[in-house]
Structure formats: C-alpha cells, structure tokens
Amino acid sequence: MEFIVVITIITFLIGTISFALPSKSSRNISALRMEASKMGFKISSSKIGKNLFKNKDLNNMIYQIKNTTNLKEAHFLRDKDELILYSPLKLKYSDDYNEIQNELEKLSPFVLEIIFSTAFISFIWKENKGLGELVKINNTLKNF
C-alpha cells in the first residue's frame, strides 16, 4: 500500500514539474520575439488595445516597425495568394497603385494582413515560419 502512495506522489510531482516547463515551440517563439525586438520590431498581442486588423484570431501577435515608406495610409488583407486593398479605396485609383501592388507581391506569402500608417507598418504573420522569414519580411519592407 505504501508503495502505491509513493508512486502516486512521485507521478504527481513529475507531472507538475513537466507542466511548468515551457515546451519547445514556446521556447522557439520566445527566441523569435527576442530577436525581432533586437531588429526594431514592437510586438503586441491582438487581444490588448485597439485592434484595427480584420483577422480576429486572438492568438496572433501584431508586429510593428517604423514606417520609412512613402505609403502613409493603407490596409491590405491576404485573400488566397495576394494582398488586396481594404482601405482607402481612393488609393486603388492613384497612379502609384500598380507599383504598390508589385512591391506587395515581393512580400512573404505568410503575411496575413498589413496596415501602413504615418508612424508604423503593422502586420500579422505566421510566426511559426521562423526568424528567416521575418528577416525577409523586414528586408522587403525596408526596400518598399
């Protein structure tokens, strides 16, 4: 009987300790976010604050970087294979729209939604694709 009690207590302790340790995927995401912060990205949860994104998946994180482009107001959503303009519609009829579309085609297919404002470029992407993909996104936005 004492043997069963001891085994139960040891199993309970091992289970509690293993539950408290972070998983491999959470460690990878944490390392990615640390490197993104070093690259100059601000990272925030889509659960907190005013969320302008149409993607309402609360597990997504919002990445922001300073806007150094000439595009100061635009919102694009991923629809199948391309980013389409959500707002403002007047941009679609501007002379620069074709150039903007060509630059957006260079952007990673893992960017789900992107918003250009006067201060920041904010986007939601599939974080599980790793740091290499984030570096590609950053380079594309810098050359935009």
Per-residue model confidence as pLDDT tens digits over 2-13 = 888 888 888 888
Q: 49 falls in which pLDDT band (50, 70, 90)?
A: low
Do residues 113 and 76 touch, judged by C-beta distance below 8 A?
Answer: yes
Residue % of the chain over a pLDDT of 90: 25
Do residues 55 and 48 touch, judged by C-beta distance below 8 A?
Answer: no
127 DSSP assignment:
G
Domain that holds residue 43: 2-142
| β-bridge partners, 44 | 62
Q: What's the confidence (pLDDT) of residue 48?
A: 67
23 DSSP assignment:
P
Per-residue model confidence as pLDDT tens digits over 78-87 = 888 888 888 8
CA of residue 135 relative to chain centroid, distance:
12
Say whether pTM exceeds 0.75.
Answer: yes
| Cα separation, 26 vs 67, whole angstroms | 29
Which range among 41-55, 56-70, 82-96, 117-131 has the greatest average pLDDT? 117-131
Residue 32 in tokens:
């990615």
| Number of domains observed in the structure of the chain | 1
| Cα separation, 64 vs 78, whole angstroms | 17
Computed over every residue of the chain, the mean pLDDT equals 86
